[in-house]
Amino acid sequence: MTEPWAMGLLAKAYGKVDRFAEGDTLVAEALTIVARTRNRWCEAELHRLKGELISSRSERDPAEIEACFRRALDVARMQDAKMWELRSAVSLARLWRAQGLRAQVCELLMPLLGYFSEGHGTHDLQDAQADLESCGGKLST
């Protein structure tokens, strides 16, 4: 079932054009479908998108944003979905970096980046590596 995934993509597009209410509604509906059908393959990404939508608003609650990213991380870890985990970790790391929590950024990203032996040309891994380097961390090769 790809409907929740498509709804998430549309919600992301709404966020890019500052239509946050529509994006929020779509993510909420997608998460409801995921819970009802128990088809959870994109659940982590939906929680991450929810956090990204909240963080894009002019009025935002950092604790609510962090809760979304942490939920996304928890779901991804429970599913052993490393790419969803990476995306969620990067979103959380950026929030923490903006709050000056550099040590936590390194602590979060270093072990996760060490997991990947391939795909370092992908956008997700490049983002994670850049965020790790921005906090003074470096992955040993």
- What secondary structure, in 3-state letters, does 79-97 show? HCCHHHHHHHHHHHHHHHH
Q: Which of 28, 29, 12 is nearest to 20 (CA)?
A: 12
- Answer whether residue 140 shows pLDDT above 60: no
Its pTM stands at 0.90
Stronger pLDDT, 114 or 33, i.e. the higher one:
33
Mean pLDDT for the stretch of residues 32-47: 96
Does the pLDDT of residue 100 top 70, yes or no?
Answer: yes
Residue 54 has pLDDT above 90, yes or no: yes
Residue 141's pLDDT is what?
47
pLDDT at 81 > cutoff 80: yes
Q: Kindly tell me if the per-residue pLDDT of 139 is higher than 70.
A: no
Q: pLDDT at residue 21 above 80?
A: yes
pLDDT over 80 (residue 121) = no
User: Which of left, alpha, beta for 80 (phi over 0: left; psi -120 to 50: alpha)?
Assistant: left
